[in-house]
Amino acid sequence: MKKIKILKVAMVAIGLLMQSAFSNAQTDTTSDKSIRPFQVHIPEEKLVDLKRRILATQWPEKEIVNDESQGVQLATMQALAQYWATDYDWRKIEQRLNALPQFVTNIDGVDIHFIHVRSKHKNALPVIITHGWPGSIIEQLKIIGPLTDPTAYGGKAEDAFDVVIPSIPGYGFSGKPTVTGWDPAHIAKAWIVLMNRLGYKKYVAQGGDWGNAISELMALQAPPELLGIHTNMAATVPANITKALQSGGPAPAGLSADEKNAYRQLDFFFKKGLAYAQEMGLRPQTLYGIADSPIGLAGWILDHDARSYELIARVFKGQSEGLTKDDILDNITLYWVTNTGVSSARLYWETVQTAKGGFFDPRHLTIPVAVSVFPDEIYAAPKNWAESAYPKLIHYNKLTKGGHFAAWEQPALFTQELRASFKSLR
């Protein structure tokens, strides 16, 4: 019974989602609706202090096992620290960000930062793309060019998108909420306001991780402008599977090969991969160490899911992967220079307060949904689960590469998926 109770708490802690606490998704109570240009300029002294802190790290002893079962391994962290302190250059990503149109607008009292790139092609389809944790807008930078300028990347003009990439409140360059209530449903409401404020009369939404939750809640709030959504981390787990996972027993009988694989992945994640979510969902303010120590922050971010960690560990051993050392440190450094380790964690706490279902439970969407399944995601949703969860499933595809940070790791495949997913909605 103790094991069952712990697992139930863990499932809540990853972000159990209310169906929708905001019946009027169109309401915007902010008086200042201006959209202001934004540029990134991190003071040099902050970067100098970052390097000083990395070099002054007090290291623990090496783990006493020969694998990652005790957590992020010392060798990986020390290789990351060495590169971060000596070779990494934040100014490169800062310059890259500042080459893009960035803006801030206030919604419900919080400044929302977003990238907004309009395509040069006529009839481009607007899409709002939402990151997750421990990601950021850094995740989506590689897909902006291919989506907005498809003819330069092997596509056709009719594949073009206008791209909007916001930073979730408490993340990156968005403001940090000073009151409670900014859960995924509230963020979904804010995204609808944002797209309306930008003048879009029809658009689609995309997301994985928190981005999936927010996109699905946008669909539940059902603004007439939202034509459909795409997800790379679908919420499709049937009730009998959830019940079996909670009981800690074997998988239900009669599952297909894809269903058995998904069950194994979910069982591993809920039993061994949720330490971060439990802490952030229940006690986020206790995480002072990730606000004070860059290595503490980096370790916390790396320990998200097993396959992503394994990829990152290989990168810092010098292997070539979908991500580079700079990719990984661009994202971690963004959290550091904005001091958003703790503020981002509060999204888990906010969600636990309003929880009415599991993060992967179907939400009974009634608008078109497209699903891309990357093999190294937390779980690979079987097609029959997706068909049951999304009655208007317009696209389903299993990819051969990619994991939790699909747009970041495999931007070419991800771009192809978005083009195919929304083709019928243009």
pLDDT in tens, 271-289: 888 899 999 999 999 999 9
Report the C-alpha gap between 149 and 159 in whole angstroms.
9
Q: Has 404 been annotated as catalytic?
A: yes
pLDDT, residue 248, reads: 84
Give the count of beta carbons closer than 10 Å to the beta carbon of residue 317.
Answer: 11
pLDDT, residue 153, reads: 94
Report the C-alpha gap between 25 and 7 in whole angstroms.
33
**In CATH, which superfamily holds the domain spanning 28-40+94-238+359-425?**
Alpha/Beta hydrolase fold, catalytic domain (3.40.50.1820)
Q: What is the mean pLDDT of residues 386-409?
A: 97
**CB 162 within 8 Å of CB 194:** no
pLDDT, residue 253, reads: 94
pLDDT, residue 368, reads: 98
**CB 40 within 8 Å of CB 333:** no
Pair of tokens at residue 295: 């290595």
Give the pLDDT band (50/70/90) at residue 358: confident
Among the listed residues 276, 335, 348, 396, the single catalytic one is: 348
Q: Has 113 been annotated as catalytic?
A: no
pLDDT in tens, 143-174: 999 999 999 999 999 999 999 999 999 999 99
What rounded mean pLDDT belongs to the chain?
A: 93
pLDDT at 12 over 90: no
Q: What is the mean pLDDT of residues 366-377?
A: 97
Report the C-alpha gap between 344 and 397 in whole angstroms.
31
List beta partners, residue 112: 105
Supply the angle between the helices 2-13 and 257-272 in degrees, to the nearest 10. Answer: 100
pLDDT at 214 over 50: yes
3-state secondary structure the chain: CHHHHHHHHHHHHCCCCCCCCCCCCCCCCCCCCCEEECCCCCCHHHHHHHHHHHHCCCCCCCCCCCCCCCCCCHHHHHHHHHHHHHCCCHHHHHHHHHCCCEEEEEECCEEEEEEEECCCCCCCEEEEEECCCCCCHHHHHHHHHHHHCHHHHCCCHHHCEEEEEECCCCCCCCCCCCCCCCCHHHHHHHHHHHHHHCCCCCEEEEECCHHHHHHHHHHHHCCCCEEEEEECCCCCCCHHHHHHHHHCCCCCCCCCHHHHHHHHHHHHHHHHCCHHHHHHHHCHHHCHHHHHCHHHHHHHHHCCCHHHHHHHHHHCCCCCCCCCHHHHHHHHHHHHHHCCHHHHHHHHHHHHHCCCCCCCCCCCCCCCEEEEECCECCCCCCHHHHHHHCCCEEEEEECCCCECCHHHHCHHHHHHHHHHHHHHHC
pLDDT in tens, 234-246: 999 999 999 999 9
Among the listed residues 108, 183, 209, 303, the single catalytic one is: 209
Q: What is the mean pLDDT of residues 234-263?
A: 94
Question: pTM higher than 0.85 for the full model?
Answer: yes
pLDDT at 202 over 70: yes
Q: Which is more confidently placed, 273 or 1?
A: 273
- Of the chain, the percentage scoring pLDDT greater than 90 comes to 88
Q: Has 121 been annotated as catalytic?
A: no
Q: What is the mean pLDDT of residues 374-397?
A: 98
Give the pLDDT band (50/70/90) at residue 30: low
Q: Which is more confidently placed, 227 or 20?
A: 227
